[in-house]
């Protein structure tokens, strides 16, 4: 009897994963807001930057594009490095680097130094942001994860609108004579607070089976993003030289090479940067497909409305930013109600949100058509409020859905893929809808160019609504 008892294997309890408390969640959401705020905060500051630094239109576009492209190119690599070396470590390092590069942007003596600092700032953001989602995935489960992901989605959407509003307020406030520089310098105290909190409240996690960096895949993914985004963002301002067309022609071949290399690595047992097997997860695949048109339309709208209100309607940076305040307020309120609506109606709230967003855009088009050039917060309020409600019923839900079934050990690469898709699409929106608007303005006038661009965005909203009908009905 004794031998039978002693021969039984002794089961040891596996250590429980570290939990993310309320302060830790606040800290990672603060970090999630910073890169998105900084993508949009410069929109209303660009005219002032151009005047102060004697920067051409092409260089000003690089101030926006340099950040966005560096950010998009390095996001998946940032997620993989967090899995490998520890997400808290990469989070702290990325946040510290984001603060230092923000300081460099704010102190830049000339336009090209600002461009270089913005590229470095984008790289720092790419090290920091994937760790936010990966940490949430690895340290929460069940209702706590659903709540955390809902708050992440609300933070992401609100940050994009708040960045533009904050940019206008800071430029106009001209704090201590800093002018446009304050839109970058404001990050420094926020980063210091974030580092203090993160050191105490964010637990360390890493993949149980860390995977080495896929060098060929990293190179080809970077080349794919660069050959698409750089010519689209710089082409119009540069006069569409030959290199822009050669780069766009090369894009499909480089992208195909990236896919072939990743598929071969997956089949032979090596670890690709973006495992094609990850796309077997239906919720991830269909959610990513929906993020693309949504993000293109969102960022394109934000850029176009900032230019139209300042250069066409003659508003100052504060008034141009505050014109979108109703969108931000309604987005926030509906984001809070989102989790309850999803619990009751599932992902059916997403096509409803697309319909509301489309209605909001139509109302803003009518306001621009009737009131131009007297277009401000009052005229835009009905459309902006309805559009904000629609966006809040889409973005937080889809971001939560994409990662809902990704295994915890692949949290880093999953979050990297999702944020790369979102960020690339945001940059693509500025490049495509922004280029369309600026190209139409000389011939059509700014009012008609604005209405036409919003009409094109409406087509994208229709596509988003149709794609949302194929989403899984429930979220795990």
Question: 66, 122 in Cβ contact below 8 A?
Answer: yes
Question: 228, 248 in Cβ contact below 8 A?
Answer: yes
- Residue 315's pLDDT is 81
Q: Which secondary-structure segment (H or E) carries 279?
A: none
Cα–Cα separations (whole angstroms), residue 241 to 46, 94, 146, 238, 244: 24, 36, 48, 7, 6
What is the token pair recorded at 333? 């309120």
Find, among 447, 442, 463, the residue nearest to 374 by Cα.
447
**Overall pTM surpassing 0.85 (yes/no):** no
Question: 430, 303 in Cβ contact below 8 A?
Answer: yes
Each residue's pLDDT tens digit, 86-138 = 889 999 999 999 999 999 999 999 999 999 999 999 999 999 988 998 888 88
Helix H segments across 308-376? 317-322, 325-345, 349-371
- Residue 17's pLDDT is 60
DSSP symbol at 276:
G
Question: 290, 475 in Cβ contact below 8 A?
Answer: no
Each residue's pLDDT tens digit, 33-51 = 998 888 888 877 888 898 8
Block means of pLDDT (10 residues each) for the chain, 476 residues, are 44 58 91 88 83 84 83 84 87 95 95 94 92 85 80 81 82 85 94 94 80 83 89 83 94 94 84 82 89 90 86 81 84 82 86 94 93 86 92 87 78 78 86 88 91 93 91 78
């Amino acid at each position: 009897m004794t031998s039978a008892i002693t021969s039984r294997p002794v089961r040891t309890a596996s250590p429980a994963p570290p939990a993310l408390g309320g302060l830790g969640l606040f800290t990672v959401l603060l970090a999630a807001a910073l890169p998105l705020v900084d993508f949009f905060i410069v929109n209303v500051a660009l005219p002032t930057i151009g005047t102060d630094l004697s920067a051409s239109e092409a260089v000003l576009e690089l101030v926006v594009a340099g950040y966005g492209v560096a950010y998009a190119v390095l996001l998946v690599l940032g997620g993989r490095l967090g899995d490998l070396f520890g997400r808290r470590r990469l989070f702290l390092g990325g946040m510290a680097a984001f603060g230092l590069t923000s300081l460099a942007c704010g102190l830049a003596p000339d336009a090209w130094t600002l461009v270089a600092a913005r590229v470095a700032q984008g790289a720092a953001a790419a090290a920091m942001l994937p760790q936010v989602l990966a940490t949430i995935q690895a340290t929460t489960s069940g209702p706590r994860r659903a709540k955390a992901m809902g708050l992440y989605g609300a933070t992401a959407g609100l940050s994009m609108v708040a960045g533009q509003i904050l940019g206008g307020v800071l430029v106009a406030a001209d704090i201590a004579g800093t002018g446009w520089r304050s839109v970058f310098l404001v990050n420094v105290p926020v980063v210091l607070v974030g580092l203090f909190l993160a050191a105490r409240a964010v637990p360390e996690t890493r993949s149980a089976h860390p995977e080495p960096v896929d060098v060929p895949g990293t190179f080809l993914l970077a080349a794919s993003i660069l050959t698409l985004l750089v010519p689209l963002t710089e082409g119009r301002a540069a006069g569409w030289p030959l290199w822009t067309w050669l780069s766009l022609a090369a894009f499909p071949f480089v992208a195909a090479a990236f896919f072939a290399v990743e598929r071969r690595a997956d089949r032979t047992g090596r670890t690709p940067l973006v495992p094609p097997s990850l796309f077997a997860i239906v919720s991830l695949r269909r959610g990513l497909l929906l993020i693309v048109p949504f993000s293109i339309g969102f960022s394109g709208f934000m850029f176009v409305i900032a230019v139209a209100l300042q250069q066409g309607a003659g508003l100052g940076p504060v008034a141009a930013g505050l014109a979108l305040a109703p969108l931000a307020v309604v987005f926030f309120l509906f984001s809070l109600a989102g989790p309850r609506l999803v619990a009751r109606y599932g992902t059916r709230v997403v096509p409803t949100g697309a319909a509301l967003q489309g209605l909001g855009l139509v109302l803003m088009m009518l306001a621009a058509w009737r009131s131009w050039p007297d277009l401000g917060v009052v005229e835009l309020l009905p459309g902006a409020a309805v559009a904000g409600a629609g966006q809040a019923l889409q973005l937080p839900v889809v971001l939560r859905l994409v990662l809902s079934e990704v295994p915890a050990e692949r949290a880093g690469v999953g979050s990297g893929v999702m944020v790369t898709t979102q960020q690339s699409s945001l940059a693509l929106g500025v490049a495509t809808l922004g280029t369309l608007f600026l190209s139409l303005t000389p011939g059509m006038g700014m009012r008609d160019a604005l209405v036409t661009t919003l009409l094109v965005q409406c087509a994208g909203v229709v596509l988003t609504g149709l794609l949302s009908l194929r989403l899984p009905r429930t979220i795990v």
